[in-house]
Structure 1
Amino acid sequence: MDQYHRLSDASADSSASDHSMNISAGVIKVLKKHGYTIKKELGRGGSGIAILVEDTEGDPFVVKQMNSRDGEELDTVKKEVEILKTLNFGYVVTYVDSFEDKEAGRIYIVMEFCEGGDLSKIMETQKKESFFEEKQILYWLVQICLALQYLHERRVLHRDIKPQNVFLTEDDYISLGDFGCSKALERDDEYACSVVGANLYVSPEVYEKKHNSKSDIWSLGWLLHDLCMLDVWVSIYFFSQ
């Protein structure tokens, strides 16, 4: 288990408090051009930034600014957009819009803002008090299962089920998000062949490069374990073809 480590209270607090507005003027200009005003930075990774914005009517949205200068990375982002465009379900994060800044090599994906945050942050807060009640866990679990059922009926594999990718709305409803690792299959008996996702949550057959919708269920099992035990993990990602 040396590849995994729990997210410490210190690192969680650091992440939660890092709302610096270190966003380039180019990003601000592009978002303003499309009618969005930046409120704050929500998170930052190797491939881009998540930004909370408001439209001209004051409604909040999340914009994922993805770097796209690398051809392979650009293809991955475009596939994510194409999958998001096909999804319309109450327990899946809603796609709003997307646009590209070709000169700067950036793609922007506008999505529903989930005011409740993600499950990993909620679990960290809950650890300071007590375990979740069983009925609360079941309430969330049923909604995640319905989201996965919706995806799998459309031959879409999420491939990155973990607390950080399960969001809550203001009314405590689940919204499954982050489809950067997802894959759309062409037929029911097809298998995905790439190794992606947070390695704590991926099923054994993923490493054999032959997996299908059942692998999402394996990941869901780990997520259920985390909700019951309040274990929050950070793990290395594997990306290979």
Structure 2
Amino acid sequence: MAGHEGERPVRSFSSATTRSAEPARVTPDPTRRLLSPGQTIQSPETLLAYRVERFLGEGGFGQVYLARRLGRSSVVAQAVCIKVSGRIDGWLREAYFGQLLDGHPRAIRVYDAFPLAPQEGRVLYCLALEYARHGDLRTFLQRADKGWTEKTVRREIAGILEVLRKLHRGQLLHRDLTPMNVFVCDGPSLKLGDFGIVRQQSDRGGIAAGTMNALTAPSDILAGAVPKWQARDDVYQVGQLLGMLVKGDASARLRTSEIRRLACGDHLKEIIHRCLGERRKRYESADDLIEALRNPPAPLKAGVLRSLKGVHLAFTGILSKRRNEAAKAARRAGAVVHGGPSARTTVIVRGRPNPLQAAGRDAGLKLMEIKRLRAKGHKITLLNERQFWRLARV
């Protein structure tokens, strides 16, 4: 969590366990403040002192304050966020990942990590963090009230994905990629923060899906249909961030039915749909999503086929004749007809595009599945309707 000049203190449920579709916001109780304006705290680790200026917000980890570094330092910025909690577990993880990602241009920097032992009461655990002057992404978009250009969205999400790729390659799952944990620095430049619920998986099977934020958590996990969180579920959350940036609104989760109306190109719509769509068809990791953003799929061009005999065929789009007539003709020509593409499909017959396709002219559900299967090495020939009827001899 980071603050913004003039921003009202709010509670962000960035690490809270919740099942509601829209996390509520409540005004924090001032009587429960862990630090107070004007208070000076000192790190026994670096011997640097920080003067607390004002309360910024509260989340699952604890409370966040804007503070000023006292004295000189060539490493620690003058304005910092002090994140403070009475719990050691999240503090340890945040401090660890601060070291792991130290110097990464797309991760909020952890300058200092230290315990604070007040004269009375329990020990507090503090982090001195990089201060994101423009606040979190949800607050920033709310103020801007407009979406970002596709070029900017691609660049900034690619930066966030570089951090996520480093985690995924180490078998680590972030699980909290929400607009409240992505921060806007000057540029604007997006940086990822809040690693308090990151967990390591022992294999690619994932980890138990417990703590999560309902704003960007996959619906199948929220419904309890899937017991374990995997890297592809982090990818789902990045897909939500992509859509929110294009839409210019991070107050509610994006539905797949909204994707075709987004103000971006069909390729990006297709990427977002695959992130948010059927779980088994999502990109499996940050690496796969980075590859998709960098390299558009090959255009869907009609191929060449001499006969329909023995092929496994599926139809998509609007045909000039009824679909059942086309299926009968295909069977008479020796084809095996499927309701939709699968690993067994060898031919897809494409009619006119449906204007209500999920993600643009070349990105209906069946066409996206064909592209996914082709990327996995399946050879699938595309025929237009004229080619099909000629081969079916009708």
| Map of 2:41 onto structure 1 | 30
- State the alpha-carbon separation in 2 of the partners of residues 126 and 178 from structure 1: 23
Pick one of 207, 210, 219 that aligns with 1:192: 207
| C-alpha contact 1:126 1:132 (8 A) present in aligned 2 | no
- State the alpha-carbon separation in 1 of the partners of residues 244 and 191 from structure 2: 18
| Map of 1:113 onto structure 2 | 131
Structure with the higher helix share, 1 or 2: 1
Instruction: Say whether 1:4 aligns with 2:21.
Output: yes
Structure 1 stretch displaced more, 216-225 or 167-176: 167-176
Structure of higher RCO (CA pairs closer than 8 Å, 6+ residues apart):
1
User: Structure 1 residues 25 and 225 mapped into 2: Cα distance closer, same or farther (>3 Å)?
Assistant: closer
Q: Which amino acid counterpart does residue 65 of structure 1 have in structure 2?
A: V
| C-alpha contact 1:191 1:211 (8 A) present in aligned 2 | yes
| Map of 2:300 onto structure 1 | none
- State the alpha-carbon separation in 2 of the partners of residues 26 and 115 from structure 1: 19
| Map of 1:226 onto structure 2 | 244
Post-superposition offset of 1:40: 2.1
Please list the CA deviations of residues 136-165 of structure 1 after superposition, one character each: whole Å capped at 9, or x if unmatched.
222222212222112212222111011111
Give the match's secondary structure for 1:36.
strand
Post-superposition offset of 1:63: 1.2
- State the alpha-carbon separation in 1 of the partners of residues 242 and 99 from structure 2: 28
- State the alpha-carbon separation in 2 of the partners of residues 118 and 160 from structure 1: 14
Give the match's secondary structure for 1:162.
coil
Q: Which runs of 5+ in 2 are unaligned?
A: 1-18, 254-394
- Taking the TM superposition and a 5 Å limit, the aligned residue runs for 1:137-156 are 137-156=153-172
Post-superposition offset of 1:188: 4.7
Pick one of 82, 88, 105 that aligns with 1:63: 82
- State the alpha-carbon separation in 2 of the partners of residues 180 and 234 from structure 1: 23
Give the match's secondary structure for 2:91.
helix
Post-superposition offset of 1:234: 6.8
Give the match's secondary structure for 2:83.
strand
| C-alpha contact 1:192 1:211 (8 A) present in aligned 2 | yes
| C-alpha contact 1:6 1:232 (8 A) present in aligned 2 | no
| C-alpha contact 1:6 1:233 (8 A) present in aligned 2 | no
| Map of 1:50 onto structure 2 | 64
Q: TM-score, normalised by structure 2?
A: 0.49
Give the match's secondary structure for 2:84.
strand
Give the match's secondary structure for 1:216.
helix
Q: Which amino acid counterpart does residue 156 of structure 2 have in structure 1?
A: W
Pick one of 93, 113, 132 that aligns with 2:148: 132
Give the match's secondary structure for 2:128.
strand
- State the alpha-carbon separation in 1 of the partners of residues 48 and 185 from structure 2: 25
Q: Which amino acid counterpart does residue 163 of structure 1 have in structure 2?
A: P
Pick one of 165, 190, 195 that aligns with 1:179: 195
- State the alpha-carbon separation in 1 of the partners of residues 200 and 42 from structure 2: 29
RMSD: 3.4
Give the match's secondary structure for 2:206.
coil
- State the alpha-carbon separation in 2 of the partners of residues 27 and 213 from structure 1: 43
Give the match's secondary structure for 2:53.
strand
Structure 1 stretch displaced more, 80-89 or 138-147: 80-89
| C-alpha contact 1:4 1:233 (8 A) present in aligned 2 | no
| Map of 2:99 onto structure 1 | 85
- State the alpha-carbon separation in 2 of the partners of residues 30 and 234 from structure 1: 38
| Map of 1:101 onto structure 2 | 116
Give the match's secondary structure for 1:117.
coil
Q: Percent identity?
A: 21
Q: TM-score, normalised by structure 1?
A: 0.76
| C-alpha contact 1:120 1:164 (8 A) present in aligned 2 | yes
